[in-house]
């Protein structure tokens, strides 16, 4: 394995720890979308319901929420989330594990890209900057 690959793996591990630090503190649909009106995000509850339904009932082909077919996210995300729930049990960590892994992989790929083009410090800066955005954090 090359030096860049090891560094990218280290960045992925650090990003995973950073992203997973508040995963159990924030409940499903607890994040605020609008701070002024105190409106909460409801979409995670829909995705969670579909994934739990898939994991418990074994319907792996079509995500169903509240008795309706729901294809609001890519099917692979539903499948990975349901598989995580099946393997690790029903918990907030298992529910959010595929998203955490995707975020860590994104940081590692961004680091590798920028480090290859501009050097390690540019890669670190890019990975840190992308992780500071609110879209990457759960809590």
**Do 84 and 37 share a structural domain?**
yes
Q: Which of 91, 99, 103 is nearest to 24 (CA)?
A: 91
**Does some domain include residue 121?**
yes
Same domain, 69 and 108: no
**Alpha carbons 108 and 113: distance in angstroms, whole number:** 9
- pLDDT tens string, the chain, 139 residues long: the values are 679 999 999 999 999 998 888 788 777 776 666 677 777 777 788 888 889 989 998 888 888 888 888 887 788 888 999 999 999 999 999 999 998 999 899 999 999 999 999 999 999 898 888 777 655 555 4
Q: What is the number of structural domains in the chain?
A: 2
Looking at the structure, do residues 8 and 43 belong to the same domain, yes or no? no
| Residue 110, pLDDT score | 92
Is pTM beyond 0.75? Reply is yes
Find residue 69's DSSP bridge partners: 64
Q: Is residue 44 part of a domain?
A: yes
> Does some domain include residue 15?
yes
Domain that holds residue 42: 28-90
- Regarding whether 38 and 4 lie in a shared domain, the answer is no
Helix 3-20 and helix 120-131, axial crossing angle in degrees, nearest 10: 20
CA 92 to chain centroid, in Å, comes to 11
């Amino acid at each position: 394995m090359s030096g860049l690959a090891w560094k990218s793996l280290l960045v992925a591990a650090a990003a995973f720890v950073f992203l997973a630090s508040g995963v159990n503190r924030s409940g499903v649909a607890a994040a605020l979308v609008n701070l002024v009106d105190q409106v909460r995000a409801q979409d995670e509850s829909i995705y969670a319901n579909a994934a739990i339904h898939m994991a418990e009932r074994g319907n792996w082909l079509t995500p169903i929420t509240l008795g309706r077919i729901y294809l609001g996210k890519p099917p692979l995300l539903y499948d990975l989330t349901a598989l995580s729930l099946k393997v690790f049990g029903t918990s907030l960590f298992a529910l959010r594990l595929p998203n955490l892994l995707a975020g860590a992989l994104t940081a590692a790929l961004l680091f590798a890209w920028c480090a290859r083009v501009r050097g390690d410090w540019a890669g670190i800066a890019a990975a840190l900057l992308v992780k500071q955005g609110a879209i990457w954090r759960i809590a």
